[in-house]
Chain A
C-alpha cells in the first residue's frame, strides 16, 4: 500500500476538503482557504476529479436532500487510507529535504 503512486495536489486537497461533507463549490473554497489562496481548483478540473474519485471509491456522494440539486460528497474509509498513505509519503519527502538542506526553508 505504501507504494501507491503520488496524489496530485488537486486530488490531495479535494480529499482533505472532504474530511467533512461538502458540495463542489465548498471544495473549491476550502482548498483555497487551506492553501492560503495558492491552489485554486477550476470547475472542469474538479468535476473530472470528483467523477474519477467516486469511480475509485475514495469518495461517495451523499443522498441528496429533497429539492436540492447540489450534490454533496464525503470521504470513504478507502479515501481516508489513501490520504494517510500520502501523508506518510510527504513526510518522507520533507524529512529528506530538511536533513539534506538543513531545514533552511527559504523557498
Chain B
C-alpha cells in the first residue's frame, strides 16, 4: 500500500483555481490527491507528475460521474457541491472545460449557490437579530457578508469571460 499523508487547508470558494493549482503542484511533487473532506486533503505517494487533478462545482449527477469514468478519469469524492477528479497523465491531457461558454456556465452555477446560501444566512441573521436582540444572528450576518463577497469575485470572473466572448468563443 502506498504511503499517504493528510493535509488540512482552507480555500475560499473564489479560490477554486488556486486550489486546483496547488493540488497539481502536489501531484508534480509526487503526492496525488486520493480523497477529500471538509478542508482535508489526503494524498498518496506516486511518481512525480503521474496525475492531473481537476475540481468543479456540480450538483449530484450519477450520469456525469459515469461519463467522466468512461473518459478515463477517476472520481475522488465530493465536499459539499465540489467534486474532485484525477486522471493519469499518461492517458493524455485532462481538462473539464474547453470553451468559454462552459466556463461561464460553471461560474454561473457557483454564483447561484452562493446567492442562495448567502440570502438564507442574511434572512436567518436578520430574524435572529430582530427577535432575540442578542448577538445570535451575528454569525449568520458575517457568513452572508462573506458569501456576498465571494459572489462578487465569481461574478467578476464571469464578466471577464463574457467580455472575451464578444470577440471569440
Q: Chain A residues in contact with chain B, CB under 8 A?
A: 8-10, 23-25, 28, 39-49, 69-70
Contact = CB atoms under 8 A, between A and B. Distances in A.
Contacts of A40: 93, 95, 98
A10 B98 contact: yes
25 contacts: A8-B99, A8-B101, A8-B169, A10-B98, A10-B99, A10-B101, A23-B70, A24-B67, A24-B70, A24-B71, A25-B72, A28-B71, A40-B93, A42-B96, A42-B97, A42-B102, A43-B67, A43-B95, A44-B97, A44-B106, A45-B98, A45-B99, A46-B98, A69-B66, A70-B70
A32 to B, nearest CB: 9
Interface string B129-156: 0000000000000000000000000000
Contact of A45 (B72, B93, B97): B97
B73 interface: yes
A25 B71 contact: yes
Contact of A44 (B56, B66, B72, B93): B56
Interface string B80-106: 000000000000010111110110011
The 10 closest A-B pairs by CB, nearest first: A44-B96, A42-B98, A42-B95, A45-B102, A45-B98, A43-B71, A45-B97, A8-B169, A25-B71, A47-B67
B73 A43 contact: yes
Interface of B: 56, 64, 66-68, 70-73, 93, 95-99, 101-102, 105-106, 169
Contacts of A42: 95-98, 102
Q: In the complex, which of the residues B68, B71, B93, B96 has the most CB atoms of chain A within 10 Å of its own CB atom?
A: B71
A45 B96 contact: yes
Contacts of B73: 43
A9 B102 CA distance: 13
B101 A41 contact: no
A44 B70 contact: no
